Chain A
Amino acid sequence: MLLTSCGSDDDICLGEESTPRLLLKFRNANNQLVRLDSLFVDVDYGKDTLKNIITSVNVDSVFVPLRIDESPYTDIYIRTRKGQKGSKLRVNYDKKSIYVSPACGFKINYENLKMDLLQANPVQSILPNNTSLTDENNINFYLRF
C-alpha cells in the first residue's frame, strides 16, 4: 500500500544527465596553458539577443552549453576586454538524441566537433583536442590567445 504513495505527481529532472557542455581551455603564444585575467563569453542561441555565459576574472577554462535545436552549429563570441569587438567562433557538429528518463526526456550528444575562427583577435587560433562531446570530462578545444 505504502509503495503507491512513492509515485510523485510531478516528475522532476534532477539534471545529472543533461546535455553536456563544451569545455574550452586557453593557451598563450608559447602554447602554455594560461589563466585569463578577464573573459566575456556570449553565445547565439538563435534568439534576438546573445546570451552571456560568463563574465569573469582570472579563469582557466569555460563550459559553453551548445544549441540543442535544429541548428548544425553554435556561434560563440569571446572578448577579453569590455567594449572590445572580440572573436567569433563557430562550432559545427553532428547531433545525436539520447533518451535519459521520463523526467529528463532526451539529452544531446555531439560528434565530429569542428571549430572555425570566423573572426580573430583576441583569439589567434584553435587547437582541437577532443571532437566528441558525450560528457564533461574532456577538454574539447584550446583557444590560443
Chain B
Amino acid sequence: MRITSIFICAFSLLSVSVFSQSSTDEKKQDSVKWKYTPNFTVGVDVLNLGTGLFSDRQMIQGFVSSRVSKKVHAVIDLGYDNNIYRKNGYDVTADGLFAKIGGFYMLSMDPENDLNGFYAGAKLAGSFYNQEYKAIPVKGINSEGVTVAFAPSTQSSYWIEAALGARVQVFNSNFFIDVNVQPRYLAYTTKQEEIKPMIVPGFGKSSGSFNMGFSWNIAYKF
C-alpha cells in the first residue's frame, strides 16, 4: 500500500512537470486542424493477467479506445474477474463481468509523436456478478470460529474511477504500452441481507469504498 502511494505521488508530480514544459509546444500544433478518422486501439492488461497465475484473483481485462479529437480519447473497458476473500473469519467468492466507459485527455504529448504522452481521465463502471458468502464471522465473547453462511446470489455494483496514465509507442510499430492507475470510489452496490460486499469483480476489495487499481497494457493501434 505504501509503495503504491509513493508511486502515485511521484507519478502525479512527474505528469505535472511534463505538462508545464510542453505548454509552449501546444500552440504550434493547435494551428494544424485535427480531423477524426476512424481509429481504434485495442489493449490487454498483461500485468493482472500475469499475477492471476500466482494469486487468488484471476482477472482478465482489456480496452478499446478511439481518439475522438486532438487531445481526447474515448475508452471502453471490459473484463472478467474471479476473486476470493478468505480472511478474518470470512470466506467469500465472487466472479463476474465488468465494464467501464469514459474518456481521457492527453495532458502532455510528445511533440514528435502525439500518441505518446501522459493522460488523465474518468470512467463510470459497473459489475454484474455471482457471489457466495460461505462464511461470515459472528462476534461474541468466548466463542470463536462461529460463522453464518448464505446461498449464492447475483449482485451488481457501480463505481466511478479516475485514470492517470501514460501511453508510449513501441519503436515505430503499431504497438503501445499503456500504464495507468485507477483510484476508484464505490458509489452503489446491491446487497444480500444488507451485507456490504467484501470483494467486487473489477473493483477489488470493497469493505472500504475507496480502492486503487493498477494496469499495465499492451495495445495495438488499428
Residues on A facing B (Cβ under 8 Å): 1, 3-11, 13, 15, 18-19, 21, 43, 45, 51, 53, 65-69, 97, 99-108
Contact = CB atoms under 8 A, between A and B. Distances in A.
Interface in B1-26: 1-2, 4-5, 8-9, 12
B139 A45 contact: no
Contacts of A4: 4-5, 8, 183, 210-212
A98 to B, nearest CB: 9
Contacts, number: 89
A68 B140 contact: yes
B207 interface: yes
A6 B9 contact: no
Interface string B78-94: 00000000011110000
B148 interface: yes
Given A13-B139, A19-B141, A100-B139, 13 more contacts: A3-B210, A5-B5, A18-B141, A19-B138, A19-B139, A65-B140, A101-B196, A105-B136, A105-B139, A106-B137, A106-B139, A107-B139, A108-B140
Interface of B: 1-2, 4-5, 8-9, 12, 87-90, 136-143, 146-148, 183, 193-196, 198, 205, 207-208, 210-212
B142 A6 contact: no
Tell me the interface secondary structure of chain A in the complex. Answer: loop
Contacts of A65: 140-143
B139 A1 contact: no
B142 A104 contact: no
A5 B1 contact: yes
Interface residues of B, dominant DSSP: mixed
Contact of B137 (A3, A8, A51, A105): A105
Nearest to A1: B8
A22 to B, nearest CB: 11
B71 to A, nearest CB: 23
23 contacts: A5-B2, A6-B208, A6-B210, A7-B1, A7-B211, A8-B208, A9-B1, A18-B141, A19-B138, A19-B141, A65-B140, A65-B143, A68-B140, A68-B143, A69-B143, A69-B146, A97-B138, A97-B148, A105-B136, A105-B138, A105-B147, A106-B136, A106-B148
A43 B207 contact: no
A103 B88 CA distance: 8
Q: Which of A13, A99, A106 has the most CB of B within 10 A?
A: A106
Contacts of A45: 142-143
8 smallest CB-CB distances across A and B, nearest first, come from: A102-B207, A19-B140, A65-B141, A68-B140, A105-B137, A7-B208, A106-B138, A4-B212
A1 B184 CA distance: 10
Nearest to B209: A7
Contacts of B139: 13, 15, 18-19, 100, 104-107
A1 B146 contact: no
B208 A1 contact: no
Nearest to A97: B148
Contacts of A1: 5, 8-9, 12, 183
Contact of A18 (B9, B140, B207, B210): B140
Given A45-B143, A103-B88, A68 B138 contact: yes
A11 B9 contact: no
A7 B88 CA distance: 16
Contact of A108 (B1, B8, B138, B193): B138
Contacts of A18: 139-141
